Amino acid sequence: MARRSYHQYCALARTLDLVGERWTLLLVRELLSGPARFKDLQVGLAGMGTNLLSDRLKELVEAGLIEREDRLYQLTPRGRELEESVVALARFGAPLLGERSAQELWRAEWNVVALQYAFCPERAKNAEGVIEYRIDESCVQAKLTSGALETAGEARWEPDVVIRADGETFLQLAAGELDPKNAEEQGRLELIGSRRLWRTSLRVFSVAR
Amino acid sequence: MARRSYHQYCALARTLDLVGERWTLLLVRELLSGPARFKDLQVGLAGMGTNLLSDRLKELVEAGLIEREDRLYQLTPRGRELEESVVALARFGAPLLGERSAQELWRAEWNVVALQYAFCPERAKNAEGVIEYRIDESCVQAKLTSGALETAGEARWEPDVVIRADGETFLQLAAGELDPKNAEEQGRLELIGSRRLWRTSLRVFSVAR
DNA sequence: CGGAATCCTCTTCGATACTG
DNA sequence: CAGTATCGAAGAGGATTCCG
């Protein structure tokens, strides 16, 4: 059974033949946070049948976008090239994030993508350092180096500042509904390390541009 | 009948809820060339059922990404914001464009996207002018202004150079299988206007980067 | 001509149950 | 835990017909 194809000699169509099916780009998003197991993936892809997840993983391993080592899945360098597309699509969708409905899932790891579309290079010219977000049980890092950004969904670098909050607090801060100063005074936000880098981060990451 | 949704509070998921279904991004690609009628769209979306095309158009009009004036469909400014994502996805797919199989469709208008992912801003610092590609019956324009690129799938600006070729010739040139000089000597490629801008274009548009 | 609606078949998806 | 198997539901694809 051959995969369904658009049969077009077009770069966009070729990409969509590969990753355009339902769930596939969300699966890539999950792996942009770092290597994951089947079970981990299921959490961020709630509603996706296990058979479908299994099939997709096989297809993407076959296509050379994912590699499997023992029971750990991760993106290959080629697979990681999808990051640019994922971030572009997410940037388009950012204005659509209004209220969060009760039935909607949210995971702190998704900030690995959110940080990237919220990043303003022109405001980060002289920003340097590693910012670590500890939200609920998760850890997301942003590494700033001379106007460029790298992100990770796990503790990969030594942090210069650690920001700790629960998910609800973090979402309110991101939405601009809660003032960082107030949050800290209320004890809902804890800072360890460089306050200067923290203030820089508030300037550098901004959804409204 | 509510639209299917991923039910995730995530910018990527929100975008895919809107344009992640089969054919939708290819439909956007078609409209990136300029306004089109139902019949025109069917040509570039061969294999898509008329009912499906009709449904998708309605959904996208509803979502504010497309507007319909009389019988002409075109992207709204918000819809045009998808260009960045479409180009990023196509850039990813460019290395997958190997041989063109016999059953695969190709349309010269798709170069509106191809020119954008092939564009190297750093090589176009001092490039200025409008390049017009006349391939078979179609017209695609590229407007260079101080390191930036605009494209159109129709005659929108006064061209500084017009390049005329048939589709086969153009594909061979793009693939690097045919030397521009040879093509011209063989009469398969015709140039009218600024030869200097033509040479610039060869440097500025390059798939291998 | 430019679509919209219907009908029928086929594929894919989604949920659950089951197995190594 | 990491999948595989199964089956009903939903969506896609193609032909044809209807309508203004």
B184-196 confidence digits (pLDDT tens)? 999 999 999 999 9
C-alpha A176/C-alpha A171 separation (Å) is 9
Query: Residue A143: pLDDT above 80?
Result: yes
Query: Residue A206: pLDDT above 90?
Result: no
Which pLDDT score is estimated for A163? Answer: 96
Mean pLDDT value of segment A51-73: 95
> Cβ(A135)–Cβ(A108) under 8 Å?
yes
Of B85, B97, B106, the CB nearest to A92: B85
Protein B45 CA to nucleic acid D19 C1', in Å?
24
Query: Residue A208: pLDDT above 90?
Result: no
**How many degrees, rounded to 5, is the angle at CA A156 between CA A70 and CA A164?**
120
pLDDT bucket at B137, cuts 50 / 70 / 90:
confident
Domain boundaries of chain B, sorted by first residue: 11-93, 108-204
Within 7 Å of a protein beta carbon, the nucleotides of strand C are 1-7, 11-17
Query: Residue A1: pLDDT above 60?
Result: no
Tokens linked to A14: 């070729």
Within 7 Å of a protein beta carbon, the nucleotides of strand D are 1-6, 10-16
Tokens linked to A170: 């973090």
Mean pLDDT value of segment A9-33: 96
**Alpha carbon of residue A74 to chain centroid:** 14
Counting residues of chain B whose pLDDT is more than 90, the rounded percentage is 82
C-alpha A119/C-alpha A206 separation (Å) is 6
Helices (H) and strands (E) in chain A, counts: 10, 7
pLDDT in tens, A167-205: 999 999 988 889 999 999 999 999 999 999 999 999 999
The DSSP symbol for B101 reads P
Q: For all residues of chain B together, what is the average pLDDT?
A: 93
pLDDT bucket at B3, cuts 50 / 70 / 90:
confident
> Cβ(A54)–Cβ(A27) under 8 Å?
no
Mean pLDDT value of segment A37-59: 94
Q: For all residues of chain A together, what is the average pLDDT?
A: 94
Fold designation for B11-93: Arc Repressor Mutant, subunit A (1.10.10)
Chain A contacts of B6, Cβ < 8 Å? 26, 47
pLDDT in tens, B4-28: 899 999 999 999 999 999 999 999 9
CB pairs under 8 A between A and B: 157
Q: Is B181 exposed, middle or buried (0-12, 13-18, 19+ CB in 10 A)?
A: exposed
- If we measure between CA atoms, which residue out of B22, B57, B24 comes closest to residue B39? B57
Which pLDDT score is estimated for B208? Answer: 63
Query: Residue B198: pLDDT above 60?
Result: yes
Name all protein residues with C-beta less than 7 A from any atom of nucleic acid chain D: A 4, 37-39, 49-51, 54, 57-58, 71; B 1, 3-4, 21-23, 47-52
pLDDT in tens, B87-104: 999 999 999 998 898 889
Counting residues of chain B whose pLDDT is more than 70, the rounded percentage is 98
Query: Residue A164: pLDDT above 90?
Result: yes
Mean pLDDT value of segment B59-79: 92
Q: Which residues contact B140 (CB under 8 A, 6 or more apart)?
A: B33, B108, B109, B111, B112, B115, B132, B133, B151, B152, B153
pLDDT in tens, B33-49: 999 999 899 999 998 98
- If we measure between CA atoms, which residue out of A17, A12, A23, A201 comes closest to residue A115? A201
> Cβ(B46)–Cβ(A29) under 8 Å?
no
pTM to 2 decimal places: 0.95
Counting residues of chain A whose pLDDT is more than 90, the rounded percentage is 88
Query: Residue B1: pLDDT above 50?
Result: no
Partner-chain contact B22 A20, CB within 8 Å: yes
Inter-axis angle of helices B11-19 and A24-32, nearest 10 = 170
Residue A75 backbone dihedrals phi, psi, to 5 degrees: -70, 145
A108-204 shares the fold of A11-93: no
Query: Residue B209: pLDDT above 60?
Result: no
CATH 3.40.50.720 fits B108-204, yes or no: no
Query: Residue A24: pLDDT above 90?
Result: yes
Query: Residue A209: pLDDT above 50?
Result: no
Which pLDDT score is estimated for A2? Answer: 67
Q: Which residues contact A117 (CB under 8 A, 6 or more apart)?
A: A87, A88, A90, A91, A94, A207, B11
